[in-house]
């Protein structure tokens, strides 16, 4: 298990893989699991960026997903937002 998988699966009985999380983000699917929110709000930004690179998620895709599905419902990651502004 990767550090990302440990963080997002910590409080759940079932398992979701990095690959599945990446697929959801790449295809801009509406989140059906709260683990997507955990990914964007509890995983350190450096690890989130490494996850994005490792899974070939374009930076703009990551940003658009965050804005459309995470921030729009009230979850925030101010460090990530600052990085998006640079």
| Domain assignment of residue 70, given as a range | 3-85
Evaluate if residue 86 carries a pLDDT over 90: no
Q: In whole angstroms, what is the distance from residue 34 CA to residue 59 CA?
A: 22
State the pTM of this model. Answer: 0.92
41 near 76, Cβ under 8 Å? yes
Output the pLDDT for position 20: 97
pLDDT tens readout for residues 35-57: 999 999 999 999 999 999 999 99
Counting the structural domains of the chain, the total is: 1
Output the pLDDT for position 34: 93
């Amino acid at each position: 298990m990767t550090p990302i998988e440990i963080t997002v699966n910590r409080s759940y009985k079932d398992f979701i893989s990095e690959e599945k999380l990446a697929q959801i983000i790449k295809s801009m699917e509406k989140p059906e699991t709260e683990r997507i929110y955990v990914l964007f709000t509890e995983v350190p930004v450096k690890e989130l960026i490494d996850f994005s690179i490792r899974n070939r998620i374009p930076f703009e895709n990551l940003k658009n997903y965050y804005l459309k599905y995470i921030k729009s419902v009230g979850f925030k990651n101010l460090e990530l937002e600052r990085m998006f502004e640079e």
